[in-house]
Structure 1
């Protein structure tokens, strides 16, 4: 007598955790101490601007996560780990850029009401499926753009961008896996 397979095996849950953990490890491995060297394909100002842009992109994505979480609290268990990684990405990019660090520090020290109003200004789709799809689309677009940008950047920043792009691709998978 054969039994039907369970809808979700423990392996699938572990595989999902492994994908996210591996992507995060790759992304954060690029955050080693020391500045990018200008002699390896990019000037310091180009690197600083790229870091500031990447930090800003991650913060914008973070605001999208916050808007979806505010509109759909039932998705919190699914989205909080992804949101935490996006916050870590923003911090990792901000570490090497004085401009990004100053902006991140202003954002981090902002009042809770300022953060809530910034999140409220983004409109999350009314239904959960559309909200997840909008996050997946934002993650996919950002991951693709970062994968293209890393070709023009020096070593350490290129590695960080590659890792964060891979993490974004893993987020897309996790956000869309329920559709199948």
Structure 2
């Protein structure tokens, strides 16, 4: 009978186990090298960026809230249409303000009085301007996502999507909802 036993094949080069062991060693060295004082300063910088981003987003939401209030004051007949959207914008402002770091002791700009935005005398034009403000802010927030830390990015994405939906609802003729 012929023997079908063959010699085990030996591939040239390093074995898989030695490659994995070497990769694990390199990764461990990289992690250890990253555990220096610069890691702390990087974390502090990221936290600072996050605080600034949230503060700016909260302020933008408060300004948009002011626009809603101005339109509602000038055109009370729009209350049924605008109040639910205004309530969401208020929630956005609160979410950005609440998510700020507790280490931040700067006074909130929410208490600072601001000039009331001008409102078009025609209700349709006022709603159109409000839709444009929502769209512009949603676009800015979408662009800010590119540089935002993960948690802030998720919040910005959610609020930007809501703003885009608000802009759509505001541009939709009232009878077609």
Aligned to 2:132: 137
CA distance in 1 between counterparts of 2:154 and 2:100 reads 16
Evaluate the alpha carbon distance shift between residue 141 and residue 91 of structure 1 in structure 2; reply closer, same or farther with a 3 A threshold: same
From 54, 65, 69, the equivalent of 2:68 is 65
Once the two structures are superposed, residues 78-137 of structure 1 have per-residue CA deviations (whole angstroms, 9 ceiling, x without a partner) of: 000000000000000001225598416x53xx8xxx6xxx56x32111001100010000
CA distance in 1 between counterparts of 2:122 and 2:42 reads 50
Aligned to 2:156: 161
Q: TM-score, normalised by structure 2?
A: 0.68
More helix by share: 1
Aligned to 2:95: 92
What SS class does the counterpart of residue 60 from structure 1 fall into?
A: helix
Please report how far the alpha carbon of residue 154 of structure 1 lies from its aligned counterpart in structure 2 after TM superposition: 1.2
Aligned to 1:51: 54
Rg larger for: 2
Please report how far the alpha carbon of residue 170 of structure 1 lies from its aligned counterpart in structure 2 after TM superposition: 0.4
Say yes or no: does 1:83 pair with 2:78.
no
Q: Which has the higher contact order (CA 8 A, sep 6+)?
A: 1
CA distance in 2 between counterparts of 1:141 and 1:129 reads 18
CA-atom RMSD in angstroms: 2.4
Evaluate the alpha carbon distance shift between residue 139 and residue 166 of structure 1 in structure 2; reply closer, same or farther with a 3 A threshold: same
Q: TM-score, normalised by structure 1?
A: 0.66
What SS class does the counterpart of residue 172 from structure 2 fall into?
A: helix
**Unmatched tracts of structure 2, length 5 or more:** 1-40
CA distance in 1 between counterparts of 2:149 and 2:42 reads 8
Evaluate the alpha carbon distance shift between residue 39 and residue 135 of structure 1 in structure 2; reply closer, same or farther with a 3 A threshold: same
